[in-house]
Amino acid sequence: MSRSVELCALSSKTGFPADLIQSILGKLEERGVVTIFGRRAVLGPRHLASGYLNAARAILDGKARARAASLEVLRWVAGSHQVAEALLRAGPDGGTTHILIAIAPPDWPARIDRNEYPIFVRSEGLPGIELDGIVDETGSLDPDRFGSPEAPSRIGVPLDEGADDNEIELAVLEWVTTTELR
């Protein structure tokens, strides 16, 4: 049986500098394994689920490159070997105005996560995230349909000119799945 990963969406007209990201992480870390993405770096649910599945396998097999589970997820979603590069591709930066926060269970990854895609659910709220200028957009987030068409270029996926939506998604999923082969 698949386990749930909570999703939250926040926006800020002034962006999310590193100190603000650290503040958000600090307020949420007791809830589970928290990963924060720039929203333009995630194509959709299957892209994010593939990142989680591959990260879980790497961690459980002792092959993770990142020290933290959250950074291993970010690395796989970005399709990168290096954590620093993954942060540049898929993490929020000072100019990012929209972020996606994913909160996996505190014991993630467990054995079940090795072969099961997570189920994404909308978070019931972010208590303690009352920060000036931050807008909680979680209520309008559809856990089955989210993402950005900018994701392939943001994470460096090469695309054929004129690729349709299905071809784009397949290219992104292949990019994530073959991270360790490139």
pLDDT tens, residue by residue, 93-112: 878 999 999 999 999 999 99
- Please say whether the beta carbons of 12 and 133 come within 8 A: yes
Q: How confident is the model at residue 83 (pLDDT cuts 50, 70, 90)?
A: very high
**pLDDT, mean over the chain:** 93
β-strands 33-38, 4-12: how paired?
unpaired
pLDDT surpassing 90 at residue 90: yes
Q: How confident is the model at residue 127 (pLDDT cuts 50, 70, 90)?
A: low
pLDDT surpassing 80 at residue 2: no
| CA distance linking residue 37 with residue 171, whole number of Å | 20
What are the tokens at 158? 């090469």
Q: How confident is the model at residue 125 (pLDDT cuts 50, 70, 90)?
A: confident
Alpha-carbon 174 to chain mean position: 16
Q: How confident is the model at residue 1 (pLDDT cuts 50, 70, 90)?
A: low
pLDDT in tens, 31-61: 999 999 999 999 999 999 999 999 999 999 9
Q: How confident is the model at residue 75 (pLDDT cuts 50, 70, 90)?
A: very high
Domain with 129 in it: 4-181
| CA distance linking residue 98 with residue 117, whole number of Å | 25
pLDDT surpassing 70 at residue 138: yes
| CA distance linking residue 14 with residue 163, whole number of Å | 34
**Could you tell me the pTM of the whole model?**
0.94
The number of folded domains in the chain is: 1
**Residue 46 maps to which CATH number?**
3.30.2380.10
